[in-house]
Structure formats: C-alpha cells, structure tokens
C-alpha cells in the first residue's frame, strides 16, 4: 500500500522540480516593431531616462568583486556621443530597450575591469526609460551604453 502512494508522490516531486520557478523567469520584451540599432548619442531621440543618471551603490553589495573595501560606487552613463572611453573605470553594455522602456538582453562589450561588469549590470537593471517625443510609437532600440564607475570613499 505504501509503495502505491510513493510512486505518485515521487512523480509529483519530479514534475515540480523540473518546471521553472516563475519568480526567476522574466517576461519577454514588448516590441512595437523591429528594434533599431542606434549610437549612444542618438538615444535621447528615442528614449529618455526616467530614473537618475547617477546611482550610488554601497560596495558591501558586491563583496565577491573585491574592488574596494569601503565607500560607495558611483555609476553613471556617459552620453557625450563621442564614442570615447573614459580614462578611469568603465563598462560598455549592449542592450535592448523594449517598447515599455525596459532594458533587456544585456551583453558586455568592453570594460576596464571585468569585476566591474556586474556592478554596471546592477545599475542598468534599475534604469527605466520613457519614449521621447520623436518616438511616439515607442520603437525599441539596441544601443551600447558606456557606464563610468567612480569610487566615493
């Protein structure tokens, strides 16, 4: 009798473990058309940041990076359009901004220090965009954004 209950319970447990946890599955991007590949200097024609351009992140959030032991990390996107990398620490991330202004599909393109990539990714995940006046259809874009990373001890 006990074996007859054991098999269905084991099957149920296996099925539950094999299905993805919905808390960690993100919704697909919303696309009102084919994404347009743009330069960073063109971003303001399509999308405007709704969140601050400068983020301060306590370094204790990134203990495994061992970048510094105290202080804060200040991260800001460089939108000068020159395409040049800053002299200090930076990370370049290519990402999609979907039609709802949410960043998707981040890809690291360049960085001054690989340990900084996850710090910049954290900043990108906090950014939200609003369609610019020149973008009434909320056309999605793919853009490389350069984030400068400063230490404020």
Structural tokens at position 22: 């919905």
Domain spans of the chain? 23-152
Beta strands in 6-119 (DSSP E): 36-37, 47-49, 55-58, 72-78, 89-97, 103-111
pTM greater than the 0.85 cutoff: no
Per residue in 4-59, pLDDT (tens digit) is 544 444 444 444 443 333 333 468 888 999 999 999 889 999 999 876 666 666 65
Give me the percent of the chain exceeding a pLDDT of 90. 30
81 or 96, which is more confident? 96
DSSP E strands in the chain: the ranges are 36-37, 47-49, 55-58, 72-78, 89-97, 103-111, 129-131, 141-152
């Amino acid at each position: 009798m006990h074996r007859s209950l054991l098999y269905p319970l084991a099957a149920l447990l296996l099925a539950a473990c094999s299905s993805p946890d919905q808390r960690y599955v993100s919704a697909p991007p919303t696309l009102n058309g084919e994404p347009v590949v743009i330069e960073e200097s063109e971003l303001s024609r399509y999308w405007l940041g709704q969140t601050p351009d400068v983020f301060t992140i306590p370094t204790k959030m990134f203990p495994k990076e061992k970048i510094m032991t105290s202080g804060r990390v200040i991260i800001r996107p460089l939108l000068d359009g020159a395409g040049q990398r800053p002299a200090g620490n930076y990370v370049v991330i290519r990402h999609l901004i979907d039609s709802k202004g949410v960043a998707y599909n981040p890809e690291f393109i360049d960085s001054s220090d690989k340990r900084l990539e996850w710090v910049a990714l954290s900043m990108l995940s906090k950014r939200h965009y609003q369609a610019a006046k020149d973008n009434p259809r909320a056309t999605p874009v793919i853009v490389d954004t350069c984030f400068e990373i400063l230490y404020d001890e």
